[in-house]
Structure formats: structure tokens, C-alpha cells
Amino acid sequence: MGRPALAPAAIDAFRDRLCDAALRRFAEDGYRGVTLRGLARELGVSHAMAYRYFVDKDAIFVECRRRCLARFTAYQRARLDGITDPAAAIRAGARSYVDFAIDEPHAFRVMFDLEQPAPASQRALRDAQRGAFDVLGAVVRRAVTAGVLRGEPAELTQMFWASIHGVASLHVGGQLGRRRTAHAVADAIATTMLAGLAPGPREAR
């Protein structure tokens, strides 16, 4: 006789627990230190039972990354919601990116840790990454359209993202000192971008 089918609510609840445990273990031991057997032991279930919910460790981290990216996207959108001034939105985007890394360092590490499998074959994960990137992209496009910045929006977004991500990563890695230092650097990046890429007198007409 086969095993009884799991109710959708039970599946979702256990997947939540498993992902939460994986995030905690990742923060302490890194990607290589997390095993499906260890997670099952922490949750008080059999190793075989864990396989009913995820094929392997890589599948768990794909889901963890997707969830963290969704949280990050929602966090950014909430911080930017209602800001109509394009320059203010650039500054807020820089701050909120750094703030997420400060408020949720474990999620930030899971989103960007390079030891994890590449997302090339994971459509849901690729979509989540694109959604997170598009938040900053929309802010930059609006600034270009409004004449606050000059340049090609996709290139400016890449530059902005790389700069702010570097600040956030350095802070999470303990390289920037106190919280206000990360904010100060993020503010300086936004200010420099707005001043250095502002349209010239002829372009602003």
C-alpha cells in the first residue's frame, strides 16, 4: 500500500520549516556545510521524509533563494512606494538596498552566495532575480525619462546596482564598520551618480 497523499497545506508548512532551517544553517555553516540529512535531523524527521518535499539540497536552496529574492523585491517596493521625485527615488533605492542587507543579512547572503548552483535552468529563480533587478531598473529609467540622469538606462542600472551591491556586501562581510558608514557610502554613491550623470545645459532644455 502506497503512502497517503500529503495535503497541500501540510506540504507548504513543511517546506516553510525546511527552508527556514536551511537559512539558519547556511548562516552558521555556509552552503557546503548544509546537508539534507542534517536538516532532517534538526526538524526531527527522517532523511527519507525530507526527500518527499525536495529532491536534494540544491532544490532547497533554489527555493530559499527564490523566497529571499521575493522578500527583497517587496522590501524595495515598499520603501520606494509613493516617492514621486526621481532623484529622491534614486537616493531611497540606494538606502533601501543597503538596509535590506543590514536587516536580513542571512537572506542577503543566500541570494548572492556564489557557491550555490547557477540559476540558468531554474525559471522561477531567474524570474525572481529579474524582478529584484527591475526595481532599481524602474527607478533609473524614470530618472532618465525625467531628465535627471543622462545615459542608457540598462547600463546605468548595472552601474548603480554594482556600486550599491558592493557597499551592502562589504557591510555584511564586516568590512565597513558601523551601520551609519554603509548609509554614508550609499548616500555618496547616489549623490555622485546624480551629479556626475546629470544632463548638461543643452540636454536639460
Burial category of 174 from C-beta neighbours within 10 Å (exposed 0-12, middle 13-18, buried 19 and up): exposed
> Each residue of 48-57: pLDDT tens digit?
877 788 888 8
Distance CA 83, CA 92 (A): 9
Give the closest residue to 22 by CA, choosing from 38, 1, 10, 7: 38
> Each residue of 126-148: pLDDT tens digit?
888 888 889 999 999 999 999 99
1-54 placed in CATH 3.40.50.300: no
> Each residue of 168-193: pLDDT tens digit?
999 988 887 665 689 999 999 999 99
Percentage of the chain modeled with pLDDT above 90? 42
Asked if 73 and 62 count as a contact pair (C-beta separation under 8 A), the reply is no
In the chain, what are the domain boundaries? 1-54, 63-204
Distance CA 10, CA 95 (A): 38
Instruction: Specify the pLDDT at position 140.
Output: 95
Residue 46 scores a pLDDT above 70:
yes
Cα three-residue angle 46-121-74, rounded to 5 degrees: 80
Annotation: CATH topology of 63-204:
Tetracycline Repressor; domain 2 (1.10.357)
